[in-house]
Chain A
Amino acid sequence: DTEVTQTPKHLVMGMTNKKSLKCEQHMGHRAMYWYKQKAKKPPELMFVYSYEKLSINESVPSRFSPECPNSSLLNLHLHALQPEDSALYLCASKGQGGSEQYFGPGTRLTVT
């Protein structure tokens, strides 16, 4: 099973709201990733977690706050977002045996 799940599928939030995106995998992968993808562009890496520890933060604004509560779950907490943060947010995971990443279906976020 190479499935990564993400909830919710769609999210509309105002600039003063607080919301969270969730990602889950049960493949035993110990590396998990958050990406942001704008329309007609490739995904851009935001964060990398390795063994539940934040390993890479690609200079992402503090209004995005990642959390890895256990080896299967990855959250992205959102607060005081801007309209330009509207995008598809993708989660991915990677096992130890290879370098390919497995992506979830994404959360389509709209900030109003």
Chain B
Amino acid sequence: AQSVTQLDSHVSVSEGTPVLLRCNYSSSYSPSLFWYVQHPNKGLQLLLKYTSAATLVKGINGFEAEFKKSETSFHLTKPSAHMSDAAEYFCVVSENSGYSTLTFGKGTMLLVSP
């Protein structure tokens, strides 16, 4: 069985300051991990993915995530927040087997103030 815990339901930052969204996972197998972003009333957009290659993964819009197996973590970071980053972020795990169904975290709402 697999599960995902997003440690913060809301994160508030000021524009230009760093962003850290925390995610811990549990998986019986060697998982694939993803971060998706969802702006209000929109679909989910894939930000980045980890699939057992490099542990530091670069994504779109300046986001990065580091896979740490010893800590079972996959935290999302960005050096400098932009107003357009305000959205809901989902950490997601897939076990790379069968139909690759996704297990979602509950989401973290990122609020960016001017």
Residues of A bordering B, CB below 8 Å: 2, 4, 6, 31, 40-43, 45, 48, 50, 55-56, 88, 90, 92, 94, 98-106, 108
Q: Are B101 and A56 in contact (CB under 8 A)?
A: yes
Contacts A98-B49, A100-B32 known; A90 to B44 CB distance under 8 Å? yes
If A43-B44, A50-B99, A90-B43 touch, whether A98 touches B104 (CB-CB below 8 Å) is no
CB–CB B104/A56 < 8 A:
no
Do B106 and A31 touch across chains, with their CB atoms under 8 A apart? no
* Complex CA distance for A99 and B102, rounded to whole angstroms: 9
Q: Which residues of B contact A (CB under 8 A)?
A: 32, 34, 36, 41-46, 49, 51, 90, 94, 96, 99-102, 104-107
CB-defined contacts of A2 to chain B, threshold 8 Å:
46
Q: Secondary structure of the A side of the interface? A: strand
Judge whether A48 and B51 touch: CB under 8 Å: no
A55 to B98, CA, bound (A): 10
What are 21 A-B interface contacts by the 8 Å CB criterion? A2-B46, A42-B90, A42-B104, A42-B105, A42-B107, A43-B44, A45-B102, A48-B99, A50-B99, A56-B99, A56-B101, A90-B44, A92-B44, A98-B32, A98-B51, A100-B34, A103-B36, A103-B43, A103-B44, A105-B43, A106-B41
CB distance from B59 to the nearest CB of A (A): 12
Q: Are the CB atoms of A102 and B99 closer together than 8 Å?
A: no
A102 x B106 contact (CB < 8 A): no
Contacts of A42 in B (CB 8 A): 90, 104-107
* Given A48-B101, A101-B100, 12 additional A-B pairs, CB 8 A: A42-B107, A50-B99, A88-B41, A94-B100, A99-B94, A100-B32, A100-B34, A100-B46, A101-B102, A103-B43, A104-B43, A105-B42
Chain B min CB distance to A93 (Å): 11
**For residue B41, which residue of chain A has the nearest CB?**
A108
Chain A minimum-CB-distance residue to B91? A42
Closest B-chain residue to A50, C-beta based? Answer: B99
B residues near A98, Cβ cutoff 8 Å: 32, 49, 51
| A32 shortest CB reach to chain B, Å | 10
